[in-house]
Every structure is written in C-alpha cells, then in structure tokens.
Amino acid sequence: MSVLMASKPYHVDLAELMRTYETNYAKLNALIPRQPNIGDVRCYQAAHLTYQLQVLEVTKYTTLVEICQSDDISIFPLPTMSVRLYHDARVAEVCASEQLGRVDARYDYPNDKMVQKDEKAQVNRFLGDWLTFCLKRGISRTPMNINHQQH
C-alpha cells in the first residue's frame, strides 16, 4: 500500500536571501570599476579560466552587470548571468540566467524546465561562491585605472 506524502509548500526565506544579496553586492563592487560606465569590461583569470564582467546599464540607483565565462572552450562553463546592483539598498540580485531567462522568486515543481522550487536562492548562492572564487584566486586582466597626481 502506497501512501502519498503531502509536501509542504515552499516559502522564500527572505532573511537568508537578503543576506546573500548583501554579501554579493560587497563582493561584486570589489570586482567592477568604482565609477562604472556602460560598456566597461573587467576580465579575471582564475584557475586557467577567464571570466568577464560587463556593465550593461547604469542608472542613478542601479547598475546592471553581465557575468560570463569568456574562454574559447570551457569544460565546465559558467552560465551567463545578469546581475542588478541596487546601490541605495546595497544589494545585488541575479535577475536573469542563461538557462532560465528571468529568475522568479519561486517555482512550482515539477515544471517544464525542471528548475527547483528555490532556484532564485540557489543561483544567488552560486553567484556568491563564484565571486568569492574570483576574489581569492582571480587576477585582473584589465589594468586598474589609478590616477597619480603630480606635484
């Protein structure tokens, strides 16, 4: 005799998600230009892989950055992600991902794309892990613009 188990509905853990957004904001700000302009690109070499961050949009309160792996041939490619930084709230959120397009807060499961109920939380935690990897192991391939004033 089989018994159907009623699954509990998924609820977004907003406090945990906000902590992830806040730490991702701090990490991402360390990797992009201080005063970003549309089209700015930063490349990082980490563990024989090349990653690229490109500024797609800059507004008064937000910056949109696309993150991708820019190697010619990738064994384990990083999915392309669009990340929006909200400067007033000091948070960064993955708003689109290559395999999903726009990332929703939660999904019904099962679904056509077989994404997890907590896909948004997972993709933002993945971003945090990737940013930590770049900060610890990455070498900038773009010269940092440091203005020296002569006296």
Per-residue pLDDT of 41-74, as tens digits, reads: 998 888 788 889 999 999 999 999 999 988 776 6
Which tokens hold the place of 31?
């990797």
Tokens encoding 93: 């959120």
Of residues 114 and 121, more confidence is placed in 121
CB 123 within 8 A of CB 94: yes
Note the maximum CA span of the chain.
86
- Minimal CA–CA distance to 55: which of 83, 92, 78? 83
Question: Mean pLDDT over all residues of the chain?
Answer: 80
pTM: 0.77
Which of these ranges, 28-32, 104-108, 124-128, 137-141, has the smallest mean pLDDT?
104-108
pLDDT mean over 127-131:
92
